[in-house]
Structure 1
Amino acid sequence: MTTQTLDAPKTSDADQGDQVFHYVRKNKVAESAVLGTMVEALCGEVFPVTRAAKPGSPVCPRCKEIYESLPAGGSA
C-alpha cells in the first residue's frame, strides 16, 4: 500500500498569508462570533467570524468595490 500526500484546497485569503477583512452584514457578525455560524461576505466568500478588524486593516478589494457601489442608508 502506498500513501500519497494531497495539497489542501484554498479555503480563505489567510492561507496565503494575505489576511484581509471582508464586509459582512452587521447583524450576523455577533451570532457568528458566538455560535460559530457561517457568514457570507459581499464578495461571496463564506466563513465563520474569528476576529475583528482594527482601523487600517486591509480590506478585500471586491467587498470594498461592492460596498462603495451600494446606495447610502441601506439596511444591513
Structure 2
Amino acid sequence: MSWFGIGKKRSKLGKWLDRHGVAQIEVEKETGLSRGTISRLCADDENKPTMKTAGKIIKFLKRLDKRVSYEDFWM
C-alpha cells in the first residue's frame, strides 16, 4: 500500500505517481524541473505545463511505462 499523496488534492499526474510509487523528488531530479513546478502539476488538473516541461516529464515517465502519453495527464 502506498502512502504517497495521503490527504492531498491530486491531479491525474499526481495520482499516477502515487499509484506507481514514484516520489515527486524523483521526478524533479530526473527532469531538472523545479520542486514548485512538479508540486503544482501534481496538485491540480487546472495547471497545464508548457510543451517543453511536459516533454521532460513524459520522457522520464516513459522509462517507467512506455504506454504513458501527454494525453493521459493534460487533455
Structure 1 length as normaliser, TM-score?
Answer: 0.28
Structure having the larger proportion of residues in strand: 1
Q: For the pair shown, which has the larger CA radius of gyration, 1 or 2?
A: 1
Choose between structure 1 and 2: higher helix proportion.
2
